[in-house]
Amino acid sequence: MDKKMKILSFIIFFVVVIALGYIVYSKTSKSEEEMLSEKVLTEVKYIEEKVVNMANRINNITTQNYKVTTKKVEGESSNKNEENKTGSENSQSNSSENSQSDSNENSQADSSGSSQSNSSGNSQSDSNEYEEYNMERINELSKDKETEINWDEIQKEIEQIYTVMPTITLDLYQTNINQEDILNFNGYLDDLANATKREDVSGTLAQLCNMYYDISKFTDSVSQDELYKTMIKTKLNVLKAYSVVNTENWDEVNKNMQIAIDNFSTLLTNTNVNNEKQVNINKSYVILNEIKNASNKQDKDVFFIKYKNLLEEMSSM
């Protein structure tokens, strides 16, 4: 009897050890999977920000309301030095009228003094020159619409993506993301680089939209945040609308804006968000409809202003 009890106890102990080991292993594996998803999501967010920045550069749109300007300002001491220099020259002229010999001596002395004065004046002028910083408000309506696109800055951002893309690609392959989508994304990046080399506006915006479409897919796979996923899908359609505003294809603009509104409206009845985020959601919904109204009126300037406002509001969500 004792022997049977010992065997039974051993079996129970063995089963418990196996069960505990399985539980610990499962939790550890889940934790590693979550860590990978968080890492990939951070990487995807980085690229998403770059894509939006490059799209904005096409129309010289910035989400900053102010810019810092600098100008060089000279201190008062440089003016005083000029006055001293003039006084020294007048003194030299007066002394020459008294005597020729005194004039020669004074001329040499004054010449030496003048040289020292000039040297001192220049030094003080340099030391009293400083930079003055000013904040200037950026007004979208008054901006020069003929400002050239800074293609160099866009290409710099592409190069920055190329630098991190090998690591991000390897991380993406470790998730359940469709491998074809990963390959397509890298292909769109190459096409984007070629479009910017040609300074092709339509081609650049088209490839940015293609990249953002895959970004929305990546986000769907690695994020558990429904609010964030809905926001990305909404921004995708807003970006599609934005990409054809300059071609004045207003039917396409209106179509994409309506899809964006319909998609985003699902958040209005979401009870799983806090009050602060709900305020951002409500404001964003209002701005989306304002963008749609601008597109109905075919007003590019107002469209770009409201588009900028939407990006700023969504960045707070």
> 300 with 246: CB under 8 angstroms?
yes
Per-residue confidence band for 189, with pLDDT thresholds at 50, 70 and 90: very high
| Cβ neighbours around 219 below 10 Å, total | 21
> 300 with 245: CB under 8 angstroms?
yes
Q: DSSP secondary-structure letter at 149?
A: P
For the chain, the average pLDDT equals: 80
| Cβ neighbours around 246 below 10 Å, total | 14
d(CA 311, CA 62): 10
Provide the residue count of the chain: 317
d(CA 203, CA 191): 9
d(CA 231, CA 280): 11
> 291 with 240: CB under 8 angstroms?
no
d(CA 129, CA 73): 6
d(CA 118, CA 120): 5
Please state the pTM of the whole predicted model: 0.69
- Judged against a pLDDT cut of 60, whether residue 302 lies above it is answered with yes
Task: Determine phi and psi for 75, rounding to 5 degrees.
Answer: -75, 170
| Cβ neighbours around 291 below 10 Å, total | 24
Give the pLDDT mean for 153-164.
97
- Judged against a pLDDT cut of 80, whether residue 148 lies above it is answered with yes
At 58-84, the pLDDT tens digits run 999 987 654 444 556 665 544 444 445
> What are the residue boundaries of the structural domains of the chain, listed by start?
28-65+143-314, 69-137
d(CA 114, CA 107): 10
Residue 13 is predicted with a pLDDT of: 63
Residue 21 is predicted with a pLDDT of: 63
> 150 with 199: CB under 8 angstroms?
no
Give the pLDDT mean for 180-205.
97
At 27-57, the pLDDT tens digits run 555 578 889 999 999 999 999 999 999 999 9
